Amino acid sequence: MAAKKDYYEILGVARTASDKELKAAYRKLARKHHPDVNPGDKAAEERFKSVAEAFAVLSDPEKRARYDRGGHEAFGPGFDPFAGTGFDFRNFGFNDISDLFDLFGAGTRRSRSHRAARGQDIEREIRIPFLEAVRGTTVEVVLPRQSACAACGGSGREGQGRELECPDCHGTGRKTQRRRGAQVSLACGRCGGAGRVDEGGCQKCGGAGRVAAEDRVKIRVPAGIEDGGRVRLPARGDAGVAGGPAGDAFLRIRVEADGAFRREGNDLLVDLPVGLARAALGGKVSIPTLDGRTTITLPGGTRSGQKLRLRGKGVPAAGSRPPGDLYAVVQIVPPARLDARSRDLLEEFARLNPDPS
């Protein structure tokens, strides 16, 4: 697998570039390679994605600091460079995609009364077993979303009807909803954020240009994803308005606890219960690994809490990330009940080996 190109090289800036220089370089390259400027050119589309990814990381102070310290290896599997960015790379940072088309000349401008707008991002949370998260898996999920109306092709119009103020948002283009206990402002579903609807709007979608739908999709969850990690599905969110791009869908991963393994970074820990005699004398013991049980040698005089390492037996390698290690944590378990002979032997042992002072 080819190494990813340096983000600074992609944007053609120095590693000391200011935010202003980064944004200027990004806009210049994005105008050049944007798919709307190069229709059908897959190579240009890939270059645009690379430029957008580089800018998304370097324009975020925290992500840029991580990248400067560790390069691409600083980000684990499931990393989404666009998560948490306030700058919408699809619109060159503008609030409305019609402003984007203004960059390419008046011939491509859209009507301001039916402004194109990007669809909302959506997020779905799922739970997967611990071992599937460690090894990677494919899941099938249902994504409720707003899909482009087939009857009107997403335009919301049936004819050239007179425009009216949207009755749902009263012309503001925004609606307030409560999500997870917090109030959020979203684009109005009726007018798609335009604030206006056609008097002769589409009967099927009510002039919104979008209808409720459910997409069933299969998603590859990368090996080693941690609890709370997200998988991004580009353009799987709500459909855009008036020809605007669709939003993205995000799959939030919740990892269930496992009965045998615990995780610390890329390392795995497993408890290894042993008796008093085995801990004192040492010997062969069996422990679980991701590949099944294996036998290791327990040194004589092992203490409770001591860790025995198996290199490379932790979370599997992914991309440039090396595999983690597996640690067997010794737990000395005394017998719950003692017969007379065992008690005599332990008392004799205690006399010969007094407790350390």
Domain ranges across the chain: 1-109, 119-258, 261-352
Shared fold status for 1-109 and 119-258: no
Which amino acid is located at 130 in the chain?
F
170 Cα distance to chain centroid: 36
- Other CB atoms within 10 Å distance of the CB of residue 3: 8
How much is the pTM?
0.54
DSSP state letters, 215-242: EEEEEEEPTTPPTT-EEEETT-SSPPBT
pLDDT of the chain, 357 residues: tens digit per residue: 456 889 999 999 999 999 889 988 998 898 888 876 777 788 888 888 888 888 988 988 888 988 888 888 878 776 777 665 544 444 444 444 444 444 444 333 333 345 677 888 999 999 999 999 999 999 999 999 989 888 877 777 765 555 677 878 887 877 776 655 556 667 776 776 777 766 666 778 777 778 889 999 999 999 999 999 999 999 999 988 777 888 999 999 999 999 999 999 999 999 999 999 999 999 999 999 999 999 999 999 999 999 999 999 999 988 788 999 999 999 999 988 889 998 998 889 889 888 886
Domain 119-258, CATH number (from 3.90.1570.10, 3.40.50.150, 2.60.260.20, 2.40.30.130): 2.60.260.20
The architecture (CATH level 2) of 1-109 comes to Orthogonal Bundle (1.10)
Compute the distance between CA of residue 178 and CA of residue 175 in angstroms, rounded to an integer: 10
The third-level CATH classification (topology) of the domain covering 261-352 is HSP40/DNAj peptide-binding domain (2.60.260)
d(CA 250, CA 193): 22
- Cα 293 from Cα 326, distance rounded (Å): 12
Burial 292-327 (b: 16+ CB within 10 A, else e): eeeeeebeeebeeebebebeebbbbebeebebbbbb
